Amino acid sequence: MNQTTLYLAIAMAFLFCSLGCKSGPSFQASNLIIEPTEAVVYDSIRISVDVTNIGGTAGKHVVILQIDGVEKASKEVALDPGMSTAVSFFVVADELGTHSVRVDGLASTFQATNDRTPPDTTITAGPEGEINLDANTVTFRWVGSDDHSLPDELAYSYYLEGRDDGYGEFTSVTSKTYPQLPEGSYTFHVRAKDKEGNIDPSTAERSFTIAMPVDFVLMPGEERTSVKSFPVDILLPSNRTTIFSYTVAPFFASGISCIIGDKIPFEYTEINGERHVNLARVPYTVRVPRGQGAGIYDLRYTFGIFEGGGGRTTWDNPYVPSSSSLLGLVEFRLRVKVESSR
Ligand SMILES: [Ca+2]
């Protein structure tokens, strides 16, 4: 082939291709989107690009995602000429800091941060409003929730305003029982902390008041007899069958007297294999002397329960042990309202 013929062949090829010769497939990525660009470690991040076939024929192309220079994922696309498709990847950052992203020549970054959102705390059980003194053992329960800590990764701190000085240590405990609270007003506070140390700033609270009920409404000179039940609360030593008996003298408050029956009836109750002693129903008589002024009068009397019997009590000396085997103390409380007229 001489030089003239070669030039002619090249010119013919150009002419042919300009009339109908198609180029091969060619792909171009655009519109790199990272959502979100700031995420908590181990949260899912979506990375997407639009891929367009800018070539002349259909073809396939592998889109490669690199994070910090390392290939993390790839996806194959098949596109006709002139067509586009979105390609998405989901990744998590397992280290704090800035991470580089590269997809088909496009580059950007995202930030992996610590969890900065505090948890929520909710009280699920516990008293509210006014409570009778007879039900003065109260239990609170609570739960917490967080955007990144699991329930068993949360810690809690609580306190009972009116009883405790302030918040205690953070622990995994999710309930608290306060036995035999005295009369008064209380507010229970509890707050959760997530594993990153974020503390719920809006603590959960519940307020309640424990009030002693009025047992009697009497006029001066009146007398009335009733019975009072005590909760089971004194554990009897194992294998003991001692019978208890006590004589209780009258006790007084501002002139009002209360006489407990000569023999206090004891009973036993079995709880989970343990024997508990309790005063089942104690008969008592309240006397209001003539000339007693109107008002609310509280009568309180504490006596001991001793093993072996033979103990005695007097109104000015609450309990006198006959031996060293004091099993427990029982408080007898009454609130008497004296009216001046009806
Ligand atoms: Ca959190």
Element of type H or E holding 14: helix 3-19
Distance 171 CA to ligand 1 centre (A): 17
The CATH class of 120-211 is mainly beta
Residue 289 contacts residue 311 (beta carbons within 8 Å)? no
Specify the domain boundaries for CATH 2.60.40.10 within the chain: 3-113, 120-211
Neighbours of 11 (CB within 10 A): 10
Distance 175 CA to ligand 1 centre (A): 22
Distance 143 CA to ligand 1 centre (A): 14
Find residue 65's DSSP bridge partners: 73, 103
Neighbours of 45 (CB within 10 A): 20
Residue 68 contacts residue 99 (beta carbons within 8 Å)? yes
pLDDT in tens, 38-74: 998 888 999 999 999 999 999 999 999 999 999 999 9
Query: pTM, whole model, 2 decimals?
Result: 0.55
Q: Which residues of 137-163 are buried (b: 16+ CB within 10 A; e: fewer)?
A: ebebebbbebebbeeeebbbbbbbebe
For domain 216-338, give its CATH number from 3.30.2320, 2.60.40, 1.10.10, 1.10.40.
Answer: 2.60.40
Residue 292 contacts residue 255 (beta carbons within 8 Å)? yes
CATH topology of domain 3-113: Immunoglobulin-like (2.60.40)
Q: What is the pLDDT of residue 19?
A: 45
Is it true that the peptide bond before 36 is cis, omega within 30 degrees of 0? yes
Structure token pair of residue 172: 């995994």
Residue 250 contacts residue 285 (beta carbons within 8 Å)? no
Per-residue pLDDT in tens (0 to 9) along the chain, 342 residues? 566 665 655 555 444 444 445 688 999 999 999 999 999 888 899 999 999 999 999 999 999 999 999 999 999 999 999 999 999 999 988 889 999 999 999 999 999 998 989 999 999 999 999 888 777 899 999 999 999 899 999 999 999 999 999 999 999 999 999 998 988 999 999 999 999 999 999 999 999 999 888 888 999 999 999 988 776 667 776 655 555 555 566 777 788 988 887 666 777 778 788 777 777 788 889 999 999 999 989 888 777 776 665 555 554 555 555 555 677 777 788 889 999 865
Distance 156 CA to ligand 1 centre (A): 14
By CB atoms closer than 10 A (0-12, 13-18, 19+), residue 127 is buried
Q: What is the CA radius of gyration of the chain?
A: 42
Q: What is the pLDDT of residue 21?
A: 54
pLDDT in tens, 225-244: 998 877 666 777 665 555 55
Per DSSP, the residues of 306-317 read: ETTS--EEETTE
The set of residues, in sequence order, having a beta carbon less than 8 Å from that of 201 and lying 6+ positions away, is: 118
Distance 118 CA to ligand 1 centre (A): 5
